[in-house]
Structure 1
């Protein structure tokens, strides 16, 4: 019964996070990108902090290491990741953005091997990382005669988002901290939102006053802040404890399916064959990089069935 429950929650999380990319594209019709991302985490951060106060013993970081973890989370996992993602997604489809972000688990392994001497990357693992990067190039389809086209720049920005998230995930592991993940996420969201507000003000993003009353704009913001972020992370915390990091990473490879289908239905976005090929290369790269962990999960699943 637990397996069926976990499967249902896994699919629900993939649906929430996949359709979040569609909500981003819809909201970007009305809000400037960095401000839109900041507003999302203004709301989500407060909700997560209230949940942390309710659910865990320590709702506030203590000591230098715990605040350092929150700082890394605020700068890389929230601010840099979402600023790059929202700016880039102005000029590409929701599905392409979701697929490029799915490179994060592969990049996480690459950064971990580079920054943590104990995690030496094998030759086969290097092949997996390189295959994932080739997938990015296939999706971006750079034209040598026009390397700075809007579409290519947009996809490179989303690649930077995935790299920021991966680097942030690795750096948080370097600190000796027992800070509950709920507390870390809540304070990182609040800090990241503040940073993005500063950036938005610094670059003087223009905003159409009608956005504050437009149903699509407000609906996209509410969906991202409450459904995709607050509810999505609650599902993530639950599944992380039940499934572990390897299985939960597979959400990144199911979410693009929901992004593609809903993006087509709601936004009329069409995903070309080249994007699917790039997705396949990224997915194969993930399997190669995580081959040992995936093998262990399959063995565990086989024992459970027996």
Structure 2
């Protein structure tokens, strides 16, 4: 039963995170992007902090290295990632955004190799990284005579979100600090929310209190904060421990399928051929970059006794 439970939770996480892109598109009709992201993590951060206080002993950072870990998480994994994503998604579909974000595991490997020169990418790995970037280019469809169209800029901003998350993932692994993941996520969410409120104020984003009279705005914010963030990360922690990093990375390639389906059903978004082709390039890039880890993982699965 454990195997089926893991598979069910994996699909649930992919559906939750895929549908989150649809909720972002829906909420952006009512809320300014950076404030929307900040409010999401005001709520999610408090929920995660309450969970950390309940679940672990070290529910707040104590040492300098632990606060450094939180600072990187707040700046890159939460603030930079969501500012770029929410601003960029104003002019792209939920499915396209989810597909570009799925480049994160490939970029994570690239950043890891750059920051650890002794562990450089092989020529095939470099090829995989380039193939993934080609996929982003296919989705953006840049016109050399006019590279500043809304669609191209939006795709570039979402790409910056994926890059920020990938860099943050690498840097947090390199910091010598032992902090429970629940604690790190909770304080990173709260710190990221504070940073995003600052960015929102600096941008002088307009806000109409009447937005709270729209059930769709409240529903999108609640879904993102409580389901996609709080529940989604709890599922992620559970699956990461059960499946390992390689298998859980695959959720990035299932989530866009749910984003496309739910975006079509709820927002009437249609995924075009070029977006689908771009997704294919990114998926191939992932396989080339992660080929050794995938080979080991599949070999391990073949040797693992069947579970009933």
Q: TM-score range by the shorter chain?
A: over 0.9
Do residues 3 (structure 1) and 9 (structure 2) align?
Answer: no
Instruction: Report the Cα offset of residue 50 of structure 1.
Output: 0.5
Aligned to 1:86: 86
Aligned to 1:222: 222
Q: Which moved more, 1:99-108 or 1:174-183?
A: 174-183
Instruction: Report the Cα offset of residue 159 of structure 1.
Output: 0.2
How many residue pairs are counted as aligned between the two chains?
Answer: 306
Secondary structure, in 3 states, of the residue corresponding to 1:173?
A: helix
Aligned to 1:26: 26
1:164-179 aligned within 5 A: 164-179=164-179
Aligned to 1:238: 238
Deviations 1:36-92 (A, max 9, x none): 000000000000000101111200112111111100000000000000000000000
Deviations 1:185-206 (A, max 9, x none): 0000000000000010111000
1:30-179 aligned within 5 A: 30-179=30-179
For residues 204 and 224 of structure 1, the distance between their equivalents in structure 2, rounded to whole angstroms, comes to: 23
Instruction: Report the Cα offset of residue 210 of structure 1.
Output: 1.8
Deviations 1:19-45 (A, max 9, x none): 000000000000000000000000000
For residues 243 and 177 of structure 2, the distance between their equivalents in structure 1, rounded to whole angstroms, comes to: 22
Q: List structure 1 segments (4+ residues) > 2 angstroms apart after TM superposition.
A: none
Instruction: Report the Cα offset of residue 9 of structure 1.
Output: 0.2
For residues 50 and 128 of structure 2, the distance between their equivalents in structure 1, rounded to whole angstroms, comes to: 40
TM normalised by structure 2 equals 0.98
Structure 2 unaligned residues grouped into runs of 5+: none
For residues 81 and 213 of structure 2, the distance between their equivalents in structure 1, rounded to whole angstroms, comes to: 27
Structure 1 unaligned residues grouped into runs of 5+: none
Aligned to 2:293: 293
Secondary structure, in 3 states, of the residue corresponding to 1:279?
A: helix
* Inter-CA distance 54–118: structure 2 relative to 1 (3 Å threshold): farther
Q: What is the Cα-based RMSD across aligned positions, in Å?
A: 0.8
TM normalised by structure 1 equals 0.99
Aligned to 2:184: 184
Instruction: Report the Cα offset of residue 117 of structure 1.
Output: 2.8
For residues 172 and 304 of structure 2, the distance between their equivalents in structure 1, rounded to whole angstroms, comes to: 33
Instruction: Report the Cα offset of residue 119 of structure 1.
Output: 2.4
Secondary structure, in 3 states, of the residue corresponding to 1:231?
A: helix
Aligned to 1:15: 15
